[in-house]
Amino acid sequence: MRQFYKDNRIVPLGIMLLTFFIFVYHFELGRQVPLGEIPAASAPNTFVVESTDPKAAAKYADETVDQPVHHTIPSPVPSAKPPISTSTSSHSLHQAKGLATDDVILMFKTGATVLWKRVPIHMATTFSPNRIDSKNIIIYSDYHETIGQWDIIDVLSNSSDKVRKSETFQPYLQQQDYEDRQNYAEMSNVPGDAAGPSGGWKLDKYKFLPIIEHAGRNKPSAKWYIFMEDDSYIFLPNLLRHLDQFDHKDPWYLGSLAWIHGDYFAHGGSGFALSRGAWEKSFGKDPKIVEKFEKFTEEHGCGDHILGHVLHEYGVQFGETTDDNRFRYGFNPESHWSTWYEPANWCKPVYSWHHTHSKDVARFYNLEQSWDFEKGPLRYRDIYEALVAPYLRPRAEWWDNWSGKYEIKSSMAASAEPPSTVKSTETWRSAWTSVDACEAACISWADCVQWSFYEDRCKMDSMVLLGNGIPEGDSRRQTSLPWVSGWLPRRIENWACQE
């Protein structure tokens, strides 16, 4: 009897092992998985594969971030360097001495039509006294308000008569009438809501020069002026560590690179930092900057560009040279779920996110609070682990189709050239035929980490971007077939850091 039970345990085990080997064998034949990859069943109809070549991953991680981060660059990547500023040189990078939040001013920009929606979350997070003292924060808007202890400055109040006559400036003048007629620019779905004067966002460009002028004039002992918008989050401890490598007496202007009309500048939404040295070299030398560039401001549309242009006029360059990514990486023009994670940025610190929802701001703050910065900065991989990886699945229906490095469509599949790590051209070219075939093609390419499939199209990428799915009950489900996306998280986890 005992013997029987024993056999009874061995037989199913034998069957399981046999099934497994048949599965693996079938798999090797059918999918042409490159040598060394061992598929492991992880969910019905899906499989996750270990990355094969840690050396390749390490080599990749070694490369600089210069590779353009597609979809998220706010403007074209410049093709030429501007002249190097005379007084800035690499010797001004110095050893960390421990920059504190008391050494910086946080310039926070909002506007009357979005303030009530976007600012309160920051009062519970970004402006927390355990993070930065309120005397180091200035909130700038285009209408004066008071919320609790916070006095919100109307930074356009000193605008000249000439500016006040401008067509684009009219929403500023109309704001008072909204107030006087008991309207609320809150859009919180409560009776009495109004959107505020139309075109209110156009006022934004007028704010940048007066903000910098005001902050530098009123807080002359600050070493750095850190700018952020109301739909951004800045990991302050990370950024302070970064800024501490630069001498604040030199003219530094650091952020996410953008480019318009031949001017290089720091993209406003990504946040940026201006050293006291840069302020003194420009605004400090000329108290009439706002007036002097009224015409330029009138003729251009983006305040961050206007500021960058003005700084250049006074010899303050963006970074040291625009294409050295020491001066611009880590400031992101998008949020964590619409940014690419790749070996090149995996181990780098993150300074900012833009287009943040209030929920994201809360999550970033929680993560920052729980982080031990003594052990090291928050890196892209840490954000990935905390806020991206939990959403990834081997396969998800109704998920956005972001993957894009390679696209195989029925119309061009026959001539599609696979990347060199793909052993089977056949597997690659048949990627468009089904969800399974698309997934198999991704697996056959050693660098592939995400794929998506729709009708007769398979897209694959060597970087990962979370995007978002279309939930049940969403009307978009009525208007198309389901996109199917999938990720290979085990390969992502194998991206290496040189530590």
Ligand X SMILES: *[C@@H]1O[C@H](CO)[C@@H](O)[C@H](O)[C@H]1NC(C)=O
Q: Contact positions toward ligand X, by CB under 6 A?
A: 153, 155, 157-158, 210, 214, 401, 454, 480, 483
Which residue, 19 or 157, is less far from ligand X as judged by CB? 157
Give the residue among 254, 248, 243 at the shortest CA–CA distance from 220: 248
Which residue, 206 or 364, is less far from ligand X as judged by CB? 206
Residue nearest to ligand X (CB): 158
Which residue, 154 or 263, is less far from ligand X as judged by CB? 154
Which residue, 206 or 264, is less far from ligand X as judged by CB? 206
Give the residue among 12, 38, 15, 13 at the shortest CA–CA distance from 25: 38
Cβ neighbours for 49, distance < 8 A, ≥ 6 positions apart: 33, 37, 38, 39, 40, 443, 488, 490, 491
Which residue, 159 or 256, is less far from ligand X as judged by CB? 159
Q: d(Cα 332, Cα 350) in Å, to the nearest integer?
A: 8
Partners of 233 in the β-ladder? 353
Q: d(Cα 339, Cα 276) in Å, to the nearest integer?
A: 31
Partners of 108 in the β-ladder? 139, 228
Q: Give the single-character DSSP code of 199.
A: T
Give least dist CB 483 to ligand X, A.
6
Give least dist CB 153 to ligand X, A.
6
Give least dist CB 417 to ligand X, A.
21
Give least dist CB 494 to ligand X, A.
27
Give least dist CB 71 to ligand X, A.
8
Which residue, 210 or 268, is less far from ligand X as judged by CB? 210
CA atoms within 13 A on the CB side of 25: 6
Which residue, 224 or 454, is less far from ligand X as judged by CB? 454
Q: Give the single-character DSSP code of 418.
A: P
Query: Is residue 311 helix, strand or coil?
Result: helix
Is the separation of the CB atoms in 466 and 388 below 8 Å?
A: yes
Q: What is the 3-state secondary structure (H, E, C) of 126-180?
A: CCCCCCCCHHHEEEEECCCEEECCEEEEECCCCCCHHHHCCHHHHHHHHHHHHHH
Give least dist CB 399 to ligand X, A.
10
Give least dist CB 448 to ligand X, A.
17
Q: d(Cα 452, Cα 412) in Å, to the nearest integer?
A: 17
What are the angstrom distances between the C-alpha of 482 and each of 432, 436, 439, 476? 15, 15, 16, 10
Please name the residue that has the structure tokens 């978009």: 476
Give least dist CB 155 to ligand X, A.
5
Which residue, 153 or 257, is less far from ligand X as judged by CB? 153
